[in-house]
Structure 1
Amino acid sequence: MRSGNLLVLRMARVTLWESDTDTTKSERPGGRIVVVVIVLLALLAGGGYAAAYGLAGDKVPRGTSISGVDVGGLSRDAAITKLEKAFGTRAKEPIEVTVAQSASADAKESVEPGEIGLDIDYAASVDAAGAGASWNPRRQWDYFTGGKDVDAVVHIDEARLDDKLTALSEGLGKPPKDGQVLFTADGVKTTQPEAGEEVDRDDARTAIVDAYLGDEKSVVLEVAAAQPDIDSADVEEAVDSFANPAMAHAVTLVFGENEIRLAPRKFASVLSMKPENGKLVPAVDQAALTELVKDATADGKPVDATVKLVKGKPKVIPAKPGVSFDPAQVATVFQGLLTAPEDARSGKVDAEVVDADFTTKDAKALKIVEKVSEFSTYYPHADYRNVNIGRAAELVDGTILKPGEEFSLNGIVGERTAENGFTDGYIISNGILKKDLGGGVSQMATTTFNAMFFAGLKDIQHKPHSFYIDRYPVGREATVAWPTVDLRFENDTPYGILIRAWVVPSNYSRQGKVTVQMWSTKVWDIDSKTSARYGYVSPATRTLTTPDCEAHTGWSGFQVDVTRIFRRHKESAVDHTEKFHTVYTPSDTVVCKKPGPPPAGADPGDD
């Protein structure tokens, strides 16, 4: 205590010495600070630090103002309340923004603070000014020595502000344009940067915030020359460091034992270079790259190789392994290979791979290289024929028979139902015509049989129509009926067979045409010889009273023989022959009559 009293006395003497001058403390520079310092030191030395803490509390330092609003000495809550009252109304007032333009009249626009996310954080402003209770000596010092005028803490949505400034810059002439690097199937292309004009972003932000906090709610934004973010040097660097190396060579992605080779003209569409911090950085469109990979693979399940006609020529369509992969990892591996040298542009990708059963090598081994037969038949116009024959041709088209495999028309076309795409048409049943689903499909059977006949394939099962139909080759035709009557033949050659089938529909002015082709490697040159008709049988006349009766004028039945003559391709000697014997039953004449009354005395209830 004695040492404490001694210190107080010494401090008192200093105070008396200071007051011995002619100038009052309030008039002398630093006088107020000296007194505050002495009092604060006295309190601290005398054990009054707690008293100093209690005196300062959470108050704003004395003499402090926030954007012109005096809040010195106020508690934190009181200071916040005062700021809210001072700025509450004007903080919501729109700001009149004028853009100075040299080429036209000044453009003006009223900008609502909310449009650009502009508002005052009152609590943060008071805290930044020094409010808040603390035992830190620095806090006590700041409170007693006083504060100064500080800016309010203002929040602004930079993206929305930038959008607004961009909109305000429209019509100022030519905006700056960044240089670009573009990737096309033909290679790398560039767009050179161009200077322009725009509102100065930094100056505009400061001016708008000042107007927002001030009493004058208007601001003039100056237009300045603007340089693009991406200049010629950036474009050149991007081309040299990435674009040209990326497009120089193919990239190979390895999935298990399967390799997917992507040529630059294919992957160009997934590449881009985007501006970032004043540079062009590479970007890979992950979704587009994933589709490229999926085109070369099968998503999950493998797809067998096959052969199709492309521009009139057989082409092997490669097998696709079933692959499950992580698109993000594929993109990462792919991008990492783009700048690698030619001999190092192959990378492994983690994936679950299931290989196809019938590989690309298997498809090539089929040696489907040329057309070995073609046959067409014609039919009179009927809508049901267009539908049914067209549907059957659609189902047969593209069939591939490997060596030793058997063709079944019923197996490929399936049951003739409405759900399977067929409609009602005429068929032969019990020697007469009647309506049923799938009528007309026998036209497809006959055409396919003849294509098989002239390709030299092995006949397994075929049944001619019950009676002769004159639009078909006599003795060289076939009918089908689900499920028992079928057209079946075997590919007994060492090569694969591709069957192509299509229909040219009929109309009221022309016949329809159905064509079937066989593509393979030619083994046989086939000729056909047809005998004279013999064993004629006259038609009978049948009178029907059923509701589905169709009147019909009949013709005679007969027998005929067709011989298929086999010669090895490009050889003149006959290798062997095959005989087809056909018996056509007469096509009976059908007369339709209405049913007569029941016999007199008959009891309808008797069995």
Structure 2
Amino acid sequence: MQEVTVADDEQVQATQPDGTRRRRHLAWFGGAGVLAVAAIGYVGACYHYKDTIAGGTTVAGRSIGGMTMEQASRQVSGLPGPGAQQQATVTADGQKFAFEPSSAWKPDVARTLDGVTGFSLSPARLIHHISGDGGAATPRYTVDEAALARLVKGSAGTSIKGAPTQGKVKFINGEVVVVEGAPGKSVDEKAVAKDVAEHWPGTTAYTTKLVDKQADATQDAVTAFAAGDAKKAMSEPLQVKANGETVTMKPSDVSEVISSDTDAHGKPSIKVDADALLAHVLERSTDMQNDIATDAKVVWKDGKPSVQPGKAGQQIDASKVQSVVAAALTGNHVANLPMKPMQPQVTEKDIDVSSLPTTSMAHFESKLPGGAENAARTHNIETALATLNGMVVRPGEQFSLLRALGYSLTKEKGYVEAGTLQGGIHVDGMGGGVSQVSTVLYNTAFFAGVQLDEHTPHDVYIDRYPMGREATLWNPGVDNTWTNDTGHLILIKAGTSGNKVVMDFYGTRQYDVSTKTGPKTDVVQPKQRTVKNVKGCENSVGNGTPGFQVDVWRTLKKGSNVVRTDKIHTKYQPDDIITCVGSS
């Protein structure tokens, strides 16, 4: 009978005459087993990370680490083109013009993200996942030369002396005005676009020749358009219908959101500014956006978290506005805007309450104005905070404050009228005060180090907010958005404590954040102003506030390395001393 023991060195030994050989055999077998287990563990680890991008991976300075391919695709698709905010200058026979080409380049998401996920036995890939140091992926782009040519043509047309005058129709205060065209000299926009496409952004200065050019549309075509479709468009009010509600636009309103455009065959047609039209309509509607999707969120009962389900909804299909409205203006003047399904960004399955983040990555507070005169304002703030509290933002998702609050701040949602600032005038408005929530959200995102996408400062400086670091909100058109580029879920906790608005982002911080505020420059003193017949207008209290400009810098660091410095420039108008006349 063999006696088997386990020695201190974990080798299997047998007490028999040829024990040495047996010992080696079993040692080899044991070692192979350890190697096999290690190999299985290694393969398992590689498989575990196959659908996730290594932590710390960036593209053009934007973090995509920890994201799925779907999340990273959204992040990459929003990258600016190469040489963003740089200008190309073109010299043509001694004349110069400039334009920004980068918008003609679009990210090639598939090529940019090729190889960043998927099953791989590469040790380097596994090390990047474990260490959180994924490195930088190279952004790839495709260029639209036709779009580039349009940029060249538009800039040349307004800068080159003697360029062709484009015959077109203008819509002014509900009237049709014909602008006659004439030939001239300009650049060959296609040739310039080809040159820029090949050499941008390495080359920023280009030269070419002026050539004879005709106007895009003949005068006969412009005249016929003016007497036909353009006249028809201004002939009666436009009814815009969506989600069971109708908003009527007078011809003078319609003329603010349309223009004439000429196609490649020289035929003029109506061009609709979809964003401007929707802004006009939604500002006057109550029900067009009352059926939007809501996200799942975290709620607490007796201190225990649970998930409140989200729900699907619908929204106006903005991509169809041009065709639908243009057809209505040349037809029966009824534009039925189609709706499209709207899904929650966050569903129940996205929230695992057992693994919610418990560490605050950013905290911000803002003092509430006290007193009975601010009670309505405080009520609106608490209503908005209750909506935001418990919201979850997935990795790679963009957070929109307007969307989170359901776009409209209505009585049905619990809001009341309170003081707002509109065009430099203090008037009551539904949901007044919610801009303080927007400011707190902006600052929490600012110090969380996440990607800041869009915000709009107040027109005038309000001294209870950080100078150059605040954000207003208005539906439609003035939003506050940021993207969760941490690679991990972010949980928002929001509420009031005593006389303060307080907010935390719970998640995994990517960077250390520091900030610096520059001095006030270009100071403009307030002046006396009389405002007539503005409903709810409030007389100024005090001596007004000067306008000025200021710069704020946000620096993101990893250890001792500066990853990025963002510069935010804010221009405040003076808060004039207003005297209201004829207001009610």
Which structure is larger by alpha-carbon Rg, 1 or 2?
Answer: 1
Using the size of structure 2 for normalisation, the TM-score is 0.39
- Between 1 and 2, higher relative CO (CA 8 Å, sep ≥ 6) is seen in 2
